[in-house]
Amino acid sequence: MTSQTKRATIYLDSDLHKALRLKSVAISKSVSELVNDAVRESLSEDAEDIAAFEERGREPLLTYDEMVIRLRKDGRI
């Protein structure tokens, strides 16, 4: 585990907990490591989504009507 850790209580579905324990044994990682890895991955994906939204925020806005016209013009509808 990392040097700076905090203890937390979480409640898991019993089947999910069993799966985590089995995976933990199979890959020689603690349940805490598996949960930390999953949370890190989820937060990383969120950061990527936020960056994409910020980048797309500079794009001009289109109305629904403009989008339909553009799709028709491009032959996509």
In which domain, by residue range, is 53 found? 14-73
One-letter amino acid of 67: M
Q: Give, to the nearest 10 degrees, the angle between helix 14-27 and helix 31-56.
A: 100
As given in the structure block, the two tokens for residue 55 are 């980048």
Total of domains in the chain: 1
**Confidence (pLDDT) at 1:** 52
Q: Is 9 part of a structural domain of the chain?
A: no
**Confidence (pLDDT) at 51:** 93
Which residues, at least 6 apart from 34, have a Cβ–Cβ distance to it below 8 Å? 20, 23, 24
Q: Is 25 part of a structural domain of the chain?
A: yes
Query: Rounded to 10 degrees, what is the CA torsion of 24, 28, 32, 37?
Result: -90
Q: Is 4 part of a structural domain of the chain?
A: no
Alpha-carbon distance 60 to 50, whole Å?
18
Mean pLDDT by 10 residues, the chain (77 residues): 84 98 98 97 95 89 94 96
